[in-house]
Chains A and B, each alone.
Chain A
Amino acid sequence: MREVFFTKAAITTGLGGTLHENWQKMMSAESAVGPIDYFNTKRLDYHNASFVNDLRLDPKVNHVCVLTERVLDQIGEIPADTSIIWTGIKGNAQFIESGQKMDKPYLPVHYREWVANQLRIENIGIEVNAACASSTVGLALAAQKINSGECHSVLVCAADLASRFVHNGFSALKALSPATVRPFDKNRDGLALGDGAAAILLTDKETAEKNDYTLLGCLKGWGVANDANHITGPARDGCGLILAVENALKMADLKADEIEAFCAHGTGTVYNDGMELAAIETLFGDKDLPIFSVKGAIGHTLGAAGSIEAALCLMALKEKTVLPTSGLIEAEDLAKGRIANKAQTFAGNNILTTNSGFGGVNAALIIEKA
């Protein structure tokens, strides 16, 4: 079994163009969630999202590609035999919204091909869709391929937009916040969407050494499980998330006590956050475990969320600090003492990050400080 290392990580969101810029602004509890200018929401109850402001200048170009290009530029050169895992989930929204006036319908397979062309590497790899847990599952699958010796290097790449298509869908489900996104708050009332992209390079140790890459973190364990409950609502007892975390702990050969910080999915909806708190209670009991969510700061970036959050976890491990949860005013009872709107320090080397999605999917990653 080979160890799997994070060796490059780049993100871009409405809050900032780089991982460091996002980290700095999140440390100040800033939020990029604000009024929507790009489409009309007058008849709806929900008017906020997080946008990368200079992204939609030319309606004729594919905005997912523009967003992805920004993280690929930061990643730079990667080994020629790198496999690509594309985890963006709604790359066809612009095609549909444009009245189908684009050169092609932009299937996931088109994005992987585009990434390979941009990086001038062979187009090998796969596309993964696990709803809002897509990047997390993509990272798990990448780790599995490196761990088994099938690959030496895998790039997990995703971008998704705060589109009219998805905003209207979540609006119809009444899952959006009419005001401020407040993950794990007693008065939380929904999520907001956000533009976001991430590119993360995972490699084995040999590849990292050969290319003189800095080891940013080690992906120790992962788990993916379905709660078999409801297609758009999580099991209230968190059974699927518990199973995913237990599988990740088993793979990492760790006990729950050895997890020192937790980056939650934390969408800000009543049901998701309640489910996560139930799972945390079952898994960690009274353990002192700082948790945080970044979705009040950058919105929900759909397929990119898991990779963006994994990249922020690498920073958290480096700084021994978890980020403030933007929007939080009064913590939900089960979150009290764990979550804060200020940065929290932690000791230890293991951080857990999870995401959950429609269709009942839950995914967990355990990252160790390298």
Chain B
Amino acid sequence: MNDIKIINILGGGWVSASGFGKLSEKQNFNLSSGLPQIPKAKEIFSEPLTRYGRFDQYTKLGCAAIALALKDAGLEESKEKRPIGVIVSTVYECFESDMVFYETTKDDDGFFSSPNLFSYTLPGIVIGESAIYFKLTGPTFTVGDAFDQIGRNALITGLEILKSGVCDTVVAGWLDGPTEIFKRFEKEDNQKRGAIFVVLSSCKSTNIYGHIYLKNGLPYFESGREIQSVLDLIM
């Protein structure tokens, strides 16, 4: 039980109120309060991502951070589909997009409901968009986080998947987009908005930022220090 499997951190990327960057530039990282500065498509994607303009803010934010993480890991491009998983931790999901879609349903019994906006009322659509663009066919889903956690459950779940051997590389991290509605629910608002992803892999690579592992269901650095959130990997 609980055999330890050491996992490599191959790359990372983030988008926050202070800008965006890769793990290789982590000295620039700052999770300052405020709304994340969502990058333009041409600032992030090597090949045109024509649908980016139609994405909601949550999806843009997540896709950009996942792209930066994969780029940092040297895994941005592939001609073939590949079994890489994506696990996203989110507290607020795509709540803002839900509200925007619902506005379109209000008149004429919902006759004018927007099909495009409805597509973005699931928190995993950001993963679907990323999977299509980066040709990722591993396990893909979102998990919740408690209000004081930032991506911890995605890290744990990603490590569990890698430990099980289902696939050998997982992009895991945190995504919470702008959510006006929670200004009215202070207890429910942790004020943290942005996206941070890391590429975790059981494969060897020439560029490895560090090693982590799972023990008794909790994530640790190789040094034995427990990882509290994905912030610990990037700060």
Pick out which of these stretches binds chain B: A21-29, A92-100, A252-260, A332-340: A92-100
Q: Please, how many angstroms separate the alpha-carbon atoms of A312 and B163 in the complex?
A: 31
**Residue of A at shortest CB range from B84?**
A226
CB distance from B173 to the nearest CB of A (A): 15
Q: How far is the CA of A137 from the CA of B101 in the complex (A)?
A: 26
Q: Mark A172-209, 1 if CB is under 8 A from B, else 0.
A: 11100000000000000000000000000000000000
B182 to A: closest C-beta gap in Å:
7
Q: Which of B175-190 contact A (CB under 8 A)?
A: 181-182, 184-185, 187-188
> With A108-B144, A109-B144, A226-B137 known to touch, is A129 a contact of B123 (CB < 8 Å)?
yes
Report A-chain residues with C-beta under 8 Å of the C-beta of B184.
Answer: 100
Query: Which residue of chain A is the closest to B154 with respect to CB atoms?
Result: A126
**A22-62 toward B: CB 8 Å interface, digit per residue (1/0)?**
00000000000000000111111000000000000000000
Contact flags B128-152 to A (C-beta < 8 A → 1, else 0): 1101100111111111111100000
Expressed in whole angstroms, the Cα–Cα distance for A141 and B42 within the complex equals: 37
Is A118 in contact with chain B by the CB < 8 A criterion? no
Are A360 and B140 closer than 8 Å at their CB atoms?
yes
Q: What 0/1 pattern do residues 102 to 142 of A give for CB contact below 8 A with B? A: 00110111001000000000000011111101100100010
Residue in B closest to A109 when the chains form the complex, CB atoms: B144
A151 to B140, CA, bound (A): 22
- B141 close to A164 (CB less than 8 A): no
Are B188 and A105 closer than 8 Å at their CB atoms? yes
Give which listed residue, A104, A169, A251, contacts B188 with CB less than 8 A.
A104
Is A358 interfacial (CB-CB < 8 Å)? yes
The winner among A105, A170, A226, A360 for most chain B CB atoms within 10 A is A226
Q: How far is the CA of A223 from the CA of B124 in the complex (A)?
A: 17
Say yes or no for A17: interface residue by CB 8 A criterion: no
For B146, give its contact among A90, A109, A150 (CB under 8 Å): A109
- Interface mask (B101-135 → A, CB under 8 Å = 1, otherwise 0): 11001001111011100110111110111011001
B141 near A145: Cβ-Cβ < 8 Å: no
Instruction: Please provide the chain A residues from 204 to 232 with a CB less than 8 Å away from any CB of chain B in the complex.
Output: 223-232
Q: Using a Cβ–Cβ cut-off of 8 Å, how many residues does chain B contribute to the interface with A?
A: 61
Q: Is B95 an interface residue (CB 8 A)?
A: yes
Number of inter-chain CB pairs below 8 Å: 188
A164–B105 Cα distance when bound, in Å, is: 9
Describe A's contact surface by its main secondary structure.
mixed
Instruction: Give CA–CA (A86, B153) in the complex, Å.
Output: 14
Among residues of A, the one whose C-beta sits closest to the C-beta of B165 is A251
A159 beta carbon closer than 8 Å to chain B: no
Say yes or no: is A89 at the interface (Cβ < 8 Å to chain B): yes
Identify A150's interface contact among B2, B121, B122, CB under 8 A: B2
Question: Are A137 and B141 in contact (CB-based, < 8 A)?
Answer: yes
Decide if B141 touches A150 in the complex (CB within 8 Å): no
- Bound-state CA distance A251–B163 (Å) is 14
With a cutoff of 8 Å between Cβ atoms, the chain B residues found around residue A350 in the complex are: none
Interchain CB contact under 8 A, A247 and B166: yes
Min C-beta distance of B110 to chain A, whole Å: 4
B interface residue numbers (CB < 8 A to A):
1-2, 81, 83, 86, 91-93, 95, 98-99, 101-102, 105, 108-111, 113-115, 118-119, 121-125, 127-129, 131-132, 135-147, 153, 157, 160-161, 163-164, 166, 181-182, 184-185, 187-188, 216-217
A–B pairs, 8, beta carbons within 8 Å: A128-B141, A131-B122, A137-B141, A148-B2, A224-B141, A225-B83, A358-B128, A359-B124
Starting from the known contacts A148-B2, A226-B139, A359-B127, 13 additional A-B residue pairs (CB-CB under 8 Å) come to A41-B109, A105-B188, A109-B144, A128-B143, A129-B122, A129-B141, A150-B160, A150-B217, A165-B105, A169-B115, A172-B110, A172-B114, A228-B137
- A-B CB proximity, top 7 nearest: A359-B128, A127-B144, A169-B118, A149-B1, A168-B110, A130-B141, A224-B139
